[in-house]
């Protein structure tokens, strides 16, 4: 289904200045049936600009080229690079198209999927794009290749595929040890069918070598989902049964043996982590994480005697058991204290929980709501909640997170926000990439510890004409279920390979 035009900046700016929810302005009168719509809402947020033709954007990364600031936008369309040095006047540099990425047997007219968390090597200027089983319309019983595209971005205006490295998973890929190695997560497609991390040697990017090891092995039928590396170099693996951290370099005491040994990307040393109490995370499936430590310590909660520096883990449960995230799909802050035994099965203590349920700017009723990707800067979490938009949460006190701003434009499907040089780039699956910034009101709310007040608004009805957008229907992924939803096919359903 072709996505309609982006809601005008004028309307969104008006919403921001008013600080109230407002119904979508109707377009010219058309003879169309009324359809249920969601009133857009925004507070303490200003739209700066958008990246053109980025509908179906999924993930974003950044790299510096001298004074040039470049954004890498991955989506169903492939990979696009933009010069965002002047953030108010972004300029397209190159587009690595689906046609260029297609393998023998692919249907290039169908979507590239999914590369949910793009990584870029800032030194060698390489981009890594993970490929899932149902890319390009692939369906059973046919071959469904998974793995990673290794892309040269030495010139961001001339992207080139160096190779496609096939392996038995391809959902997310993360650089470890200065991008000399790649950790790839997802569903293990081998006969073992266990959750684990695949390790690839990238020291020669034209000839990547998969290492014959299994890292972070989880039970049969389980999955690993994503990896985030903290400022101390510890790689945190999210997935079924919680989040687990590993040293991948240097000499460390192995808590399983009590001996000091060298950690490597292929043989890491366990650090800490575990599960979350089921009352706080019913599915015990964590989607992604962040540990504030070292140079990023000031981004996380203020350290205290009870929660000292480096002892907190921020992570997400992606789940859709509640349309307002009241019971599932929430943001959880956990304490790592007492989980340093290396077994990774101990339950972590919950310090704080937040969800948009019953918060200002939230739509009550049957909408798509789950915590998804987040990013943190100066104790403010920018957080994607699908149709509940992007929320800005002050976590200065980890036990009492408060909302200081929100951005929920018309027909939003907020997928992932990224702090970058004081602004937030929001990858919205329906709307494309929008660049927003917080207003003074957000920082005033943070300084005073004042939660924006509750003003709920429900679905409204307007005619779906030229002035509005259709809601973008999401359905369970044929392999992951609602752990990783997809956009529905034209018929409104999504079977293996049928979503296009």
Report pLDDT digits (tens) over 230-269: 999 999 999 999 999 999 999 999 999 999 999 999 999 9
Reduced to 3 states, what is the DSSP secondary structure of residue 70? strand
- For residue 337, tell me if it sits in a domain: yes
Answer whether 0.85 is exceeded by the pTM: yes
What per-residue confidence (pLDDT) applies to 456? 43
What per-residue confidence (pLDDT) applies to 489? 60
What per-residue confidence (pLDDT) applies to 486? 78
What per-residue confidence (pLDDT) applies to 3? 31
Tell me the CB-side half-sphere exposure of residue 385, using CA atoms within 13 A.
32
Distance CA(478)–CA(476), nearest Å, equals 6
Which of 171, 176, 175, 179 is CA-nearest to residue 195? 171
Per mean pLDDT, which range of 32-46, 110-124, 325-339, 425-439 is the poorest?
A: 32-46
> In percent, how much of the chain has pLDDT > 90?
75
331-335 and 312-317: which strand pairing? antiparallel
- For residue 232, tell me if it sits in a domain: yes
Using alpha carbons only, what angle is made at residue 52 by residues 162 and 9, rounded to the nearest 5 degrees?
A: 150
How does the average pLDDT of the chain come out, rounded?
Answer: 87
What per-residue confidence (pLDDT) applies to 22? 35
What per-residue confidence (pLDDT) applies to 498? 36
- For residue 495, tell me if it sits in a domain: no
Beta strands in 305-388 (DSSP E): 312-317, 331-335, 349-354, 374-377, 380-384
- For residue 294, tell me if it sits in a domain: yes
Summarize pLDDT for 151-206 with one digit per residue, the tens: 999 999 999 999 999 999 999 999 999 999 999 999 898 888 889 999 999 999 99
What per-residue confidence (pLDDT) applies to 11? 37
> Which token pair is 385?
């909640």
Buried b (16+ CB within 10 A) or exposed e, 316-339: bbbbbebbbbeebbbbbbbbbeeb
Residues 6 or more apart in contact with residue 363 via CB below 8 angstroms: 38, 39, 324, 387, 388, 408, 456, 457, 458, 459
User: Count of H helices and E strands in the chain?
Assistant: 3, 35
What per-residue confidence (pLDDT) applies to 10? 38
> Which token pair is 227?
């990896």
- For residue 494, tell me if it sits in a domain: no
Using alpha carbons only, what angle is made at residue 303 by residues 422 and 232, rounded to the nearest 5 degrees?
A: 70
Distance CA(268)–CA(265), nearest Å, equals 6
What per-residue confidence (pLDDT) applies to 192? 86
Residue linked to tokens 């002892």: 311
The conformational region for residue 489 under phi > 0 = left, psi -120 to 50 = alpha, else beta, is beta
Sign of the CA dihedral running 255, 260, 266, 268: positive
- pLDDT of 134 > 80? The answer is yes
363 falls in which pLDDT band (50, 70, 90)? confident
- For residue 65, tell me if it sits in a domain: yes
State CA 144 to chain mean position distance. Answer: 24
Which of 282, 391, 341, 351 is CA-nearest to residue 45? 391
The CATH number for 265's domain is 2.130.10.10
Distance CA(185)–CA(235), nearest Å, equals 12
What per-residue confidence (pLDDT) applies to 32? 42
- pLDDT of 314 > 70? The answer is yes
Tell me the CB-side half-sphere exposure of residue 318, using CA atoms within 13 A.
25
Q: What letter would DSSP give residue 285? A: B
Average pLDDT over residues 74-103: 97
Most confident by average pLDDT, 32-41, 90-99, 469-478: 90-99
What per-residue confidence (pLDDT) applies to 292? 98
The domain of 368 spans: 9-487
> Which token pair is 29?
């009168």
Sign of the CA dihedral running 234, 289, 240, 165: negative
Distances (CA, A) of 350 to 280, 299, 311: 8, 19, 12
Radius of gyration over every alpha carbon of the chain, rounded to an integer in angstroms: 22
Per mean pLDDT, which range of 40-44, 98-102, 260-264, 278-282 is the poorest?
A: 40-44
Average pLDDT over residues 89-115: 96
- pLDDT of 454 > 70? The answer is no
Ramachandran angles phi, psi of 13, nearest 5°: -65, -40
> Which token pair is 21?
């929810």
Residue linked to tokens 């496609």: 164
What per-residue confidence (pLDDT) applies to 484? 76
The more confident residue out of 486 and 157 is 157
Summarize pLDDT for 408-447 with one digit per residue, the tens: 998 899 999 999 999 999 999 999 999 999 999 999 999 9
**Secondary element (H or E) of residue 12:** helix 9-18
What per-residue confidence (pLDDT) applies to 406? 96
Using alpha carbons only, what angle is made at residue 155 by residues 151 and 161, rounded to the nearest 5 degrees?
A: 20
What per-residue confidence (pLDDT) applies to 378? 97
Per mean pLDDT, which range of 249-253, 312-316, 481-485 is the poorest?
A: 481-485
Residue 3: how many other CB atoms lie within 10 Å: 16
**Peptide bond between residue 19 and the one before it cis (omega within 30 degrees of 0):** no
210 falls in which pLDDT band (50, 70, 90)? very high
> Which token pair is 156?
């961001």
Q: How many domains does the chain have?
A: 1
Residue 37, classified by CB atoms within 10 Å of its CB into exposed (0-12), middle (13-18) or buried (19+), is buried
> Which token pair is 237?
């693996």
- For residue 184, tell me if it sits in a domain: yes
234-239 and 209-210: which strand pairing? unpaired
> Which token pair is 84?
């965002």
- pLDDT of 111 > 70? The answer is yes
Average pLDDT over residues 361-387: 94
Q: Would you say 415 and 58 are in contact if contact means Cβ atoms under 8 Å apart?
A: yes
Ramachandran angles phi, psi of 482, nearest 5°: -85, 10
468 falls in which pLDDT band (50, 70, 90)? low
- For residue 496, tell me if it sits in a domain: no
Q: Would you say 173 and 147 are in contact if contact means Cβ atoms under 8 Å apart?
A: no
């Amino acid at each position: 289904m072709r996505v309609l035009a982006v809601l005008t900046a004028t309307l969104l700016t008006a919403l921001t200045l008013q600080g109230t929810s407002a119904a979508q302005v109707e377009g010219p009168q058309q003879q169309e049936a009324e359809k249920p719509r969601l009133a857009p809402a925004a507070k303490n947020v200003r739209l700066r600009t958008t990246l053109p033709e980025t509908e179906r954007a999924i993930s974003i990364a950044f790299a510096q080229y001298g004074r040039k600031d470049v954004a890498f936008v991955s989506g169903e369309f492939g990979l696009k690079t933009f010069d965002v040095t002047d953030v108010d006047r972004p300029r397209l540099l190159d587009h690595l198209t689906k046609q260029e990425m297609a393998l023998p047997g692919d249907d290039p007219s169908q979507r590239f999927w999914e590369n949910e968390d793009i990584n870029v090597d800032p030194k060698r200027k390489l981009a890594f794009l993970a490929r899932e089983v149902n890319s390009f319309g692939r369906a059973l019983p046919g071959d469904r290749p998974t793995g990673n595209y290794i892309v040269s971005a030495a010139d961001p205006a001339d992207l080139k595929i160096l190779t496609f490295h096939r392996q038995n998973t391809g959902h997310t890929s993360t650089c470890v040890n200065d991008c000399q190695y790649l950790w790839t997560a997802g569903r293990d497609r081998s006969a073992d069918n266990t959750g684990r991390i695949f390790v690839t040697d990238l020291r020669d990017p034209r000839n990547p070598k998969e290492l014959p090891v299994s890292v972070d092995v989880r039970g049969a039928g389980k999955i690993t989902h994503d990896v985030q590396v903290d400022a101390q170099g510890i790689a945190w693996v999210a997935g079924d049964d919680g989040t687990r951290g590993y040293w991948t370099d240097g000499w460390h005491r192995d808590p399983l043996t009590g001996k000091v040994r060298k950690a490597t990307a292929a043989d890491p040393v366990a650090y800490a982590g575990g599960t979350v109490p089921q009352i706080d995370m019913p599915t015990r499936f964590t989607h992604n994480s962040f540990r504030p430590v070292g140079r990023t310590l000031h981004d996380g909660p203020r350290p205290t005697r009870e929660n000292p520096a480096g002892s907190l883990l921020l992570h997400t449960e992606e789940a859709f058991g509640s349309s307002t995230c009241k019971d599932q799909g929430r943001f959880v802050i956990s304490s790592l204290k007492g989980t340093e035994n290396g077994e990774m099965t101990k339950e972590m203590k919950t310090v704080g929980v937040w969800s948009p349920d019953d918060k200002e700017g939230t739509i009550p009723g049957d909408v798509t709501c789950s915590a998804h990707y987040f990013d943190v800067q100066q104790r403010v979490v920018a957080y994607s909640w699908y149709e509940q938009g992007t929320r800005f949460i002050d976590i200065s006190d980890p036990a009492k997170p408060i909302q200081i701003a929100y951005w929920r434009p018309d027909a939003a499907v907020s997928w992932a926000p990224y702090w970058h040089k004081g602004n937030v780039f929001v990858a919205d699956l329906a709307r494309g990439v929008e660049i927003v910034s917080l207003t003074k009101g957000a920082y005033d709310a943070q300084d005073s510890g004042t939660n924006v007040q509750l003003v709920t608004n429900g679905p409204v009805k307007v005619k779906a004409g030229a002035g509005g957008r259709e809601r973008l229907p999401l359905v369970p992924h044929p392999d992951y279920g609602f752990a990783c939803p997809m956009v529905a096919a034209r018929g409104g359903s999504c079977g293996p390979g049928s979503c296009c």
